[in-house]
Chains A and B, each alone.
Chain A
Amino acid sequence: MKDFDLEGLSREMPYKMPEHFLDDMTERVVSQIGKQRKQHRERRIVALFAASVAAVALLFLHPFGGGLDIPSYESISQCASVDEVLQNMTAEELGVYSMMSNYYGN
């Protein structure tokens, strides 16, 4: 039976790669990555700005937490349990508590 010696064949390809193709490709990829990084930086700046605006707005609404009437440590330590503390909270305080619980993940 006839056989064909694949190992003896040249590893050359019958195609050609256009001249300067890899250099052009490198420049295109680097430029695209540069654009993506710029967009990423801009998005981060916008997010930081939005967070700062939200923080300033909170300070105006409740300067130094005064408006929230947060119970002191002493008043909390007098309570028998966390449930009791929660029961004594106003709806607004509960809202802040829930927001902070969600933020810290418990």
Chain B
Amino acid sequence: MKRDQSDIVNNQGSLSVSDESIARLLCDDNHVEEAVRLIMKKYGEPLYWHIRRMVVAHDDAEDCLQETMINVYKYRSTYSNEYPLSSWLYKIATNESLKLLKNRSGFTLSVDDLGDSLKDSVREEAAPDADETLILLQEAIALLPAKQKMVFNLRYYDDKSYEEIHQIVGDSVNTLKTNYHYAVQKIKDYILEHQL
């Protein structure tokens, strides 16, 4: 299949393929596997960290990322180029993370009730040489309600605009701004309270 002119070869010699080309390959039955490889190369790492920030444990992030990619394959015909490919991928990854947390919370609890157990996992999962403030930041994020957590992570770590977050999460831009504002305030309060 021909590639776009926007598919450029960078100075390391590796190919940087445009989202449009990846989306076209994804919808072509003969090139699905190639498209999946390209998605993993381009978005695998950001998607992994997006999921990991939501579910905390590596094993859970691994399951979610695998399920995300299988869903990308299964539901590829539902992708519309009205939205950027990255927003669609983040949306699937976010849904998979929420699904895992929902399964974890069972019938009686909501996803937002998992804060304490996620917070405990942060310290267990942290690298031995990890910076204490970074651990506190992750603990504070773990305690946030799911919606605030998603908005905060997408804005703070992934540098997404509110418009992009709207494409992923679905809420209005004003609601997202409010969620971000509350998240930042709660995180600052937590860190100030727990910092040595």
Name A's B-contacting residues (CB within 8 A): 2-4, 6, 9-18, 21-22, 25-26, 28-30, 32-34, 36-37
Name B's A-contacting residues (CB within 8 A): 32-33, 36-37, 40-41, 44-45, 48-49, 52-53, 58, 62, 65-66, 69-70, 73-74, 122, 125-127, 130-131, 133-135, 137-138, 156-157, 184, 187-188, 191-192, 195
Bound: A9/B188 CA distance, A: 12
Inter-subunit contact B66/A12 (CB<8 Å): no
Please name all residues of chain B whose beta carbon is closer than 8 Å to the beta carbon of A34 when the two chains form the complex. 33
Q: Which residue of B lies closest to A12 (CB)?
A: B134
Q: Write the nearest CB–CB distance from B102 to chain A, whole angstroms.
A: 22
Inter-subunit contact A15/B127 (CB<8 Å): yes
Known: A18-B58, A33-B70. A13 touches B40 (CB 8 A): no
Contact partner of A36 among B58, B73, B134, CB < 8 A? B73
Inter-subunit contact B44/A32 (CB<8 Å): no
**Could you give 11 example pairs across A and B, Cβ below 8 Å?**
A3-B192, A4-B191, A4-B195, A6-B184, A14-B135, A17-B45, A22-B44, A25-B40, A29-B36, A29-B69, A33-B36
Please name all residues of chain A whose beta carbon is closer than 8 Å to the beta carbon of B44 when the two chains form the complex. 22, 25-26
Bound: A3/B137 CA distance, A: 14
Query: Secondary structure of the B side of the interface?
Result: helix
Please name all residues of chain B whose beta carbon is closer than 8 Å to the beta carbon of A6 when the two chains form the complex. 156, 184, 187-188
Inter-subunit contact B33/A13 (CB<8 Å): no
Bound: A32/B41 CA distance, A: 17
Known: A9-B137, A17-B58, A26-B37. A33 touches B127 (CB 8 A): no
Q: Which residue of A lies closest to B183 (CB)?
A: A6
Bound: A28/B49 CA distance, A: 19
5 tightest A-B contacts by CB? A14-B130, A14-B126, A26-B40, A14-B134, A29-B69
Inter-subunit contact A13/B192 (CB<8 Å): no
Q: Which residue of A lies closest to B126 (CB)?
A: A14
Please name all residues of chain A whose beta carbon is closer than 8 Å to the beta carbon of B37 when the two chains form the complex. 26, 30
Contact partner of A28 among B66, B130, B156, B195, CB < 8 A? B66
Bound: A2/B137 CA distance, A: 17
Inter-subunit contact A15/B52 (CB<8 Å): yes
Please name all residues of chain A whose beta carbon is closer than 8 Å to the beta carbon of B69 when the two chains form the complex. 25, 29
Inter-subunit contact A3/B188 (CB<8 Å): yes
Contact partner of A9 among B32, B74, B122, B133, CB < 8 A? B133
Contact partner of B122 among A2, A14, A17, A28, CB < 8 A? A14
Contact partner of A29 among B40, B156, B195, CB < 8 A? B40
Inter-subunit contact A22/B48 (CB<8 Å): yes
Bound: A69/B157 CA distance, A: 74
Please name all residues of chain B whose beta carbon is closer than 8 Å to the beta carbon of A28 when the two chains form the complex. 66
Inter-subunit contact B127/A16 (CB<8 Å): yes
